[in-house]
């Protein structure tokens, strides 16, 4: 296992780690963070370049979730990677991060049932594994609107869906990224196939665990035609109830998912541990780590102390920080100096301008 080979006996957050052929200078990872500040046409714009460049000292930046196609959209002002303008916009981001010596993966996203006809081409009905409506409301350009009953994808549509990921992966390469992360977490489309609360299909994409993991497997196979496996990470969230999703046996399901993703030489498995909103955890994440044969990235409510303890106990190889990265562009430096941290302002998390985005002070 690469993580073990390249690390000292007791790695800490500042110990370099090799993932695939990339040498990360530390294990402090910037988590993917939706900020709803893409420009016209869902194109990354100047303030997005500044934002990522400010955070380039992270061992790795994982971008905000980014639509693989116009059908994958779920929120206003989130970026895509399916048009030339978007590729060009992202090129400015990757160039700026690389100029600072940083590394950056693009997170590939397709929201499925967490969309709304008003966000989709020709007012299409959102798709999912099964026609099960989530509780709650979609965030649209005209305010909150109740979710609709999604349309279950036909078997014949699956290759076309996988093609969208393959193309997006190729576009990410053209945009100069160091790799990609497949977003299979947080109640979005791939997760809607993985978890049995949203997947009641009786074809080869539903029912057994083997079938529920098939879409993720197909997508990994497609994107690794474009990228080396060591440049492809996967994010899962076994217990996160965000977006009204659940699985009846999260431990068994995600032990299996982790095992299925092994033997491929993937860059890492990124795990949202517990419920994002309540912080509750019911399963043993060590089992998931032990079922995966590559680097394990932990995420969800970690502080520096908790992260260090997790690395010391070998429960994780890297830790991704979300809200701390919103507020602290120089998080690595602050952790190293045991310096005070800026407090994230929740009111500016989603949408708006540079305020609460690129104006958090560095030390």
Applying CB under 6 A, the residues found at the interface with ligand PHB are: 34, 65, 75, 185-186
- By beta-carbon proximity to ligand PHB, the closer residue of 139 and 148 is 139
Q: Is 293 left (phi over 0), alpha (psi -120 to 50) or beta?
A: alpha
Closest CB 351 distance from ligand PHB, rounded Å: 10
- By beta-carbon proximity to ligand PHB, the closer residue of 81 and 185 is 185
First-last CA distance in the chain: 36
- By beta-carbon proximity to ligand PHB, the closer residue of 17 and 61 is 61
In angstroms, rounded to a whole number, what is the distance separating the alpha carbons of residues 353 and 323?
18
Among the listed residues 165, 188, 285, 360, the single catalytic one is 188
Closest CB 15 distance from ligand PHB, rounded Å: 27
Closest CB 219 distance from ligand PHB, rounded Å: 16
Give helix then strand counts, H and E, for the chain: 12, 14
Mention every residue, 6+ apart, whose C-beta is less than 8 A from residue 322: 31, 33, 299
Cα–Cα–Cα angle for 3, 4, 8, rounded to 5 degrees: 110
DSSP 70: G
DSSP 120: S
- By beta-carbon proximity to ligand PHB, the closer residue of 35 and 103 is 35
- By beta-carbon proximity to ligand PHB, the closer residue of 65 and 168 is 65
User: Catalytic annotation on 141?
Assistant: no
Closest CB 349 distance from ligand PHB, rounded Å: 8
C-alpha radius of gyration, the chain, whole number:
19
Closest CB 66 distance from ligand PHB, rounded Å: 10
Nearest residue to the partner ligand PHB, using Cβ = 34
Task: Look at residues 47, 49, 51, 19 and name the one whose alpha carbon lies nearest to residue 325.
Answer: 51
Task: Look at residues 123, 27, 31, 29 and name the one whose alpha carbon lies nearest to residue 73.
Answer: 123
DSSP 360: S
Catalytic residue ranges: 188
């Amino acid at each position: 296992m690469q993580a073990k080979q390249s690390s000292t006996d007791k790695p800490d957050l500042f110990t370099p780690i090799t993932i695939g052929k990339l040498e990360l200078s530390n294990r402090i990872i910037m988590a993917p963070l939706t900020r709803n500040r893409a420009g016209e046409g869902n194109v990354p714009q100047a303030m997005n370049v500044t934002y990522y460049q400010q955070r380039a000292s992270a061992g790795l930046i994982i971008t905000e979730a980014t639509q693989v196609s116009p059908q994958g959209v779920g929120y206003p002002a989130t970026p895509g990677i399916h048009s030339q303008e978007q590729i060009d916009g992202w090129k400015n981001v990757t160039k700026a991060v690389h100029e600072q010596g940083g590394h950056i993966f693009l997170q590939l996203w397709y929201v499925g049932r967490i969309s709304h006809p008003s966000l989709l081409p020709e007012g299409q009905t959102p798709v999912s594994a099964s026609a099960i409506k989530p509780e709650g409301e979609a965030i649209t350009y005209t305010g909150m609107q109740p979710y609709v009953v999604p349309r279950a994808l036909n078997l014949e549509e699956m290759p076309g869906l996988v093609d969208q990921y393959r193309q997006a992966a190729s576009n990410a390469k053209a945009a100069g990224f160091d790799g990609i992360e497949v977003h299979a977490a947080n109640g979005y489309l791939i997760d809607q196939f993985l978890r049995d609360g949203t997947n009641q299909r009786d074809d080869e994409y539903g029912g057994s665990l083997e079938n529920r993991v098939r879409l993720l497997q197909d997508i990994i196979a497609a994107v690794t035609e474009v990228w080396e496996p060591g440049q492809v990470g996967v994010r899962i969230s076994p217990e996160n109830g965000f977006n009204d999703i659940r699985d009846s046996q999260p431990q068994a399901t995600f032990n299996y998912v982790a095992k299925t993703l092994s033997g491929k030489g993937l860059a890492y498995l990124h795990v949202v541990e517990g419920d994002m909103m309540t912080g509750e955890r019911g399963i043993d994440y060590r089992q998931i780590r032990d079922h995966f044969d590559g680097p394990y990235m932990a995420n969800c409510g970690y502080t520096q102390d908790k992260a260090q303890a997790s690395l010391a106990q070998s429960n994780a190889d890297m830790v991704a920080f979300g809200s701390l990265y919103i507020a602290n562009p120089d998080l690595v430096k602050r952790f190293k100096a045991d310096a005070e941290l800026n407090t994230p302002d929740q009111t500016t998390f989603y949408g708006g301008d540079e305020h609460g985005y690129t104006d958090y002070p560095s030390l």
